[in-house]
Amino acid sequence: MKKILVTGGLGYIGSHTCVDLLEKNYEIIIVDNLCNSELDTLNSIYSITKKKPKFFNCDITNYEELFHLFKTNNIDCIIHFAALKSVSDSVQNPKKYFFNNVEGIKILLRCCKKFKVNKFIFSSSCTVYGFPKVLPVNESMPFGEASSPYGETKIRSEEILLKFCKENKSFKNISLRYFNPIGAHNSNLIGESHKGTPSNLVPIITKSCFNKNIKLKVFGNDYNTKDGTAIRDYIHIEDLSKAHIKAYEYIKDSINNYEFFNVGTGIGYSVIEVINTFEEISGKKLNYIFAKRRKGDIEKIYADIKKVNKKMKWKAKFDLKKMLESAWSWELKRNSNKKTLK
């Protein structure tokens, strides 16, 4: 039976997508170098699905290892998550981001061409729109000026995929331009976790309730928004993971060999709205401070989702309250586990 290769499959989005794929009875192979993930996530995937997929501790920039993996496995499709993703870290370490994110996709495509793997689903980002002048952003808009080296790697990766599709007519790609995934799986066995200090808003909020060393900073309170704080389109991780199932089902019958879709809710929430909603659902009073804007941060962005709703028959189900409830439930479970271990 042909298999789906999931790169970065033990990461946040990858692990949730692996669960959905296994629950749909797809055969998968996970590749992950564990730089931002934990091997124990493999056990959590098994606990949820009662299925243990093949796993390779492998870096996507290592052509020899990937070549062997492709040669010894019958791969039908790649779902590619294995990229570095922190905006702030990319500003500090741009070379690291270009090597992993851009060279990594080139090496994967070399293997695809060699072994005739002709389906590819790419984990892209709304950062490809840069600093949008019109909202909501829709797919007809051109790439904007990259707001960070991370954003530039996503633009470069999409350009590489488009060129590859033009040169290889039997190859089909879908790029999913994510907005801001938050929350955790309903089992509380997988969710958003980080090695080191998180850089995304929601895990910083939840972790700051237990760790006084994590300071909750609101970067910028002078944006041109209703409360002065930045606006984002937040999407529940389970909604996002299911978009990949829809993408795989769609790509098999698609007559187009290059497509891209926004994956969000179409609703923008400010940082203060997220904080207030979290306080409401958790009963916690958050101590936060305002700080200067971060380089690379966008003022406001949210998605036009008509294309993905219509063509892929996918639509987000969870509202912000449900998203934050699942993120908080995940954090509570993790901290109760830590106490038990002590």
- What structural domains does the chain harbor? 3-182+235-263 (3.40.50.720), 201-232+267-341 (3.90.25.10)
Question: How deeply is 297 buried, as exposed, middle or buried, from its count of CB atoms within 10 A (0-12, 13-18, 19+)?
Answer: middle
Residue 82 to residue 78: CA distance in whole angstroms = 11
* Percent of the chain whose predicted confidence (pLDDT) is above 70: 99
pLDDT on residue 278: 98
Check whether 88 has a pLDDT greater than 90.
no
Spatial distance between the Cα atoms of 216 and 275, rounded to a whole number of angstroms: 10
Residue 76 belongs to what H/E stretch?
Answer: strand 75-80
Q: Once rounded to an integer, what is the mean pLDDT over residues 299-310? A: 97
In the chain, DSSP finds a helix count (H) and a strand count (E) of 12, 13
Active site residues: 150
Higher pLDDT, 196 or 236: 236
What whole-number distance in Å separates Cα of residue 119 and Cα of residue 286? Answer: 45
* pLDDT attached to residue 211: 86
Sign of CA dihedral 20, 23, 28, 32: positive
End-to-end CA distance of the chain: 45
pLDDT tier at 342, thresholds 50, 70, 90: very low
Share of the chain above pLDDT 90, in %: 89
198 or 284, higher pLDDT: 284
CA nearest 165: which of 233, 298, 93, 255?
A: 255
pLDDT at 243 over 60: yes
Return the CA Rg of the chain: 19
CA distance 180 to 296: 15
- pLDDT exceeds 80 at position 338: no
Q: What's the mean pLDDT when you consider all of the chain?
A: 95
Residue 31 and residue 10: Cα distance in Å, rounded?
Answer: 8
The answer on pLDDT for 108 being more than 90 is yes
Are 192 and 237 in contact, with CB atoms under 8 Å apart? yes
- Residue-wise pLDDT for 165-194, tens only, equals 999 999 999 999 999 999 999 999 999 987
Mean pLDDT of 7-31: 98
> Going edge to edge, which strands form the sheet with 119-125?
54-57, 28-32, 3-7, 75-80, 119-125, 172-178, 258-263
Give the C-alpha distances (Å, rounded to integers) separating 231 from 225, 227, 324: 8, 10, 16
**In the predicted model, what is the mean pLDDT of residues 78-106?**
95
Which strand (E) or helix (H) includes residue 7? Answer: strand 3-7
Tell me the whole-structure pTM to 2 decimals.
0.96
pLDDT in tens, 280-300: 999 999 999 999 998 878 999
341, pLDDT greater than 50: no
What is the reported pLDDT for 339?
57
Cα-based angle 137, 89, 144 (whole degrees, multiple of 5) = 25
Residue-wise over 2-13: b if at least 16 C-beta within 10 A, else e?
Answer: ebbbbbbbbbbb
Cβ(58)–Cβ(115) under 8 Å? no
